[in-house]
Amino acid sequence: MKGWNGKILRVDLSKGTTKVVPYSEETAKKFIGGRGLAVKLLWDELPSGADPLGPENIIVFATGPYTALQVPNSGKMVVASKSPLTGGYGDGNLGTRAATNMRKCGVDAVAVTGKAEKPVYIYVEDDETEIRDAGHLWGKDSYETEDWIMEKHGKAAGVLIIGQSGENLCRLATVVAQKGRAGGRPGMGAVMGSKNLKALVFKGSKELAVADPEKLKDLGRKGFEKIPKFDAFPSWKREGTMMAADMMQTAGALPTRNFSEGVFEHIENVNGDAVHAATVTQRGCPNCNMICGNTILDSEGRESELDYENVTMLGSNIGLGDLAQIGTLNRICDELGLDTIGAGNAIGFAMECAEKGLHPIAVNWGDFEGAKKLLYEMAMMEGDGALFGLGTRAAAEKIGGEAPDFAIHAKGLEVSAYDCHVCPGMALSFGTSPIGAHHKDAWVISWEISSGIREEYGPEKADKVIEFQRIRGGMFECLVGCRFPWIELGYPLEDYPGYFEAATGVEMSLDDMWTMGDRVYALVRAFWVREYGDKWGRHMDYPPERWFKHPLTEGALAGKHLDKEKYDKLLGFYYEKRGWDDRGIPTKATLKKLSLAKEAGQLAKYVGLK
Ligand code: PTT
Ligand code: SF4
């Protein structure tokens, strides 16, 4: 194979063994890499009903044939596993030198199973893999751990690390790298912790064999040259993802006080202008010439890298309007390895529980010290953190009463920073996202709020969600490239099949990419259905109850909320267009059309297929 290394590094931490095994060309062509390769592996090898925090769970770190090539934005990887937060398929995407180094070690993915007797880290240098002692790193935060690894293995090494939250099996634990990049929102850090796996370190020096090196070089050079020429480039460099803050405030969709409102009274303290004024430096992923990680000094004078999601979930969503303090909460999350979106949700939820007298926790809206304390407690799974660190769905079920009505999640994953009281299309995107409520697959909100049909529930909304899911959740998650050049600057999608062909020699049109994306979506869906069994149903694709039940009370949209009957009809359009039945399960015919006939037979053992 060209483009792909065609090999996976398998590590069994219970047995202490490592081996490199090939995977088939057929798998490579059908699933490409990243999310596709990960779900194929989890579907084939993970026993149904496996405990996500048990040794049998598999955690996959997967790159794609695009990763580490000298082409724009190719320094990312997917981390995937059965999620301890949702009980279904979970993944995340982070930019890290671990991605580029892993590929240069001659493998496309690493799959780790088992549990080490004592804390360890996995060290990979080209063909050599060692499982090394990490006893001295256990209990240390991700920054301290990275400093030690850099000192020991050199600054060129790529790392994937967990902080204390992963060690203590907090379900909101993520994987961190390069002091500010984080991925794996559905508790991927806790899966590493359950295996006593503190870190992975990669140092690779091998050449990547590609089908047409000259063509790839030429395409890559032209691609890098195109990026700074886009009209949107200067504003992107100025604000990055923070551009969304004013946009969402104007649209009444900025999550405020646990998604109860869509406008925030201190917006000018926490918008793109405010972050730009406070920025001291910018950081980014490898192979990128549009880096976007705006870094400010927090209230303790330490660097903190901010994105829109972090600022909003740890700011307006908890009623906090002080940017430097938000920076501190964000920095603590990075150190502890806590997902900022999950953590901001959990804190907002805890504040509302306190306000309503449903749980005896002393934390009020905008309470910086209280929020800080809860972050540490969640990471240690102590005190109130032992409850809220389970995630909002589980915490709400334990608290009971009306708490589940204001637990802001879909399928158990906390919603990212877009309030959808008046955005049915974006609500559908959250509801049907393959990992639970994440905006990564179908960020249709910017289209929806300017579409002129914002409050409608017509089939064109389902079309838009599917179109975006194919591009973002399909092509970008499987090639494993950053989607920002396309969505933020307008970089042409047509370039990606060109890069793919020059690397692999395989011709694939954009339509073929969409079919591949549909295949991956169908298999991810099959995974969820296999895990949930008779608990699976249409309700699994619903957004949070709050958006139906509790109207907004402030701003121009006061009084508005989602309509459940209409949402259900919209969901029906979505299922029909995807070729899924009225329970949201791919039909036999759809699975066959997507070359998943074998998988259809396997799924039929768990649920009747239509
Ligand atoms: C991602 C989610 C996001 S999405 C953000 S900000 W964003 C939060 N970032 C966190 C963080 O930082 N620290 C922390 N402790 N927790 C965090 N949780 C949140 O995690 C990220 C960029 C961003 S910034 C986005 S949208 C894009 N995401 C991409 C994607 O998903 N796929 C893809 N092919 N390209 C993407 N490009 C962009 O990458 P999860 P990163 Mg992240 C500090 O992982 O689990 O998907 O959650 O990876 O390297 O930091 O780049 O407004
Ligand atoms: Fe990473 Fe931002 Fe560059 Fe994307 S645009 S590769 S997220 S630095």
Query: What local confidence, expressed as pLDDT, does residue 22 receive?
Result: 98
Cα–ligand 2 centroid distance for 77 (angstroms): 12
pTM of model > 0.95: yes
Other residues' Cβ atoms within 10 Å of the Cβ of residue 83: 28
Burial class of residue 515 (count of CB atoms within 10 Å of its CB; 0-12, 13-18, 19+) = middle
Residues 105 and 82: their CA atoms lie apart, in Å, by: 26
Cα–ligand 2 centroid distance for 287 (angstroms): 9
Q: Is 483 in the pocket of ligand 1 (CB under 6 A)?
A: yes
Tokens 């307006």 locate to 316
Other residues' Cβ atoms within 10 Å of the Cβ of residue 404: 17
Q: What is the mean pLDDT of residues 594-607?
A: 97
Q: What is the mean pLDDT of residues 367-387?
A: 98
Tokens of 417: 């920073």
Query: What local confidence, expressed as pLDDT, does residue 307 receive?
Result: 97
At 279 the three-state DSSP class reads strand
Could you state, in order of their start, the residue ranges of all structural domains in the chain?
A: 7-203
* pLDDT surpasses 90 at 233: yes
Residues 610 and 607: their CA atoms lie apart, in Å, by: 10
Share of the chain above pLDDT 90, in %: 100
Mean pLDDT of the chain: 98
Q: Could you tell me the CA-to-CA distances from 328 to 165, 174, 309, 528 in Å, in that order?
A: 17, 18, 15, 36
Q: What is the mean pLDDT of residues 519-528?
A: 98
> What is the number of the ligand closest to the CA of 66?
1
The CATH number of 7-203, from 3.60.9.10, 1.10.10.10, 3.40.30.10, 3.40.630.10, is 3.60.9.10
Q: What is the pLDDT of residues 188-223, one digit of tens each?
A: 999 999 999 999 999 999 999 999 999 999 999 999
Ligand 2, atom 1, lies closest to the CA of: 285
| Helices first, then strands: H and E counts in the chain | 27, 17
* pLDDT surpasses 90 at 106: yes
Residues 202 and 161: their CA atoms lie apart, in Å, by: 12
Give me the phi and psi of 105, to 5 degrees please: -90, 0
Residues 292 and 288: their CA atoms lie apart, in Å, by: 9
Cα–ligand 1 centroid distance for 25 (angstroms): 30
Q: Is 345 in the pocket of ligand 1 (CB under 6 A)?
A: no
Question: Ligand 1, residues 440, 441, 484, 489: which to mutate, most atoms within 8 A of Cβ?
Answer: 440
Name the residue with higher pLDDT: 52 or 180. Answer: 52
Do 118 and 196 meet the contact criterion of CB atoms below 8 Å apart? yes
Q: Is 333 in the pocket of ligand 1 (CB under 6 A)?
A: yes
Query: What local confidence, expressed as pLDDT, does residue 180 receive?
Result: 86
The pLDDT-based confidence of 507 (bands split at 50, 70, 90) is very high
Q: What is the pLDDT of residues 293-337, one digit of tens each?
A: 999 999 999 999 999 999 999 999 999 999 999 999 999 999 999
Q: Is 298 in the pocket of ligand 1 (CB under 6 A)?
A: no
> What is the number of the ligand closest to the CA of 94?
1
Q: What is the pLDDT of residues 118-169, one digit of tens each?
A: 999 999 999 999 999 999 999 999 999 999 999 999 999 999 999 999 999 9
Query: What local confidence, expressed as pLDDT, does residue 275 receive?
Result: 98
Q: What is the dihedral of CA 543, 545, 547, 550, to 10 degrees?
A: 180
Taking the CA of residue 338 as reference, the ligand 1 atom at the shortest distance is: 15
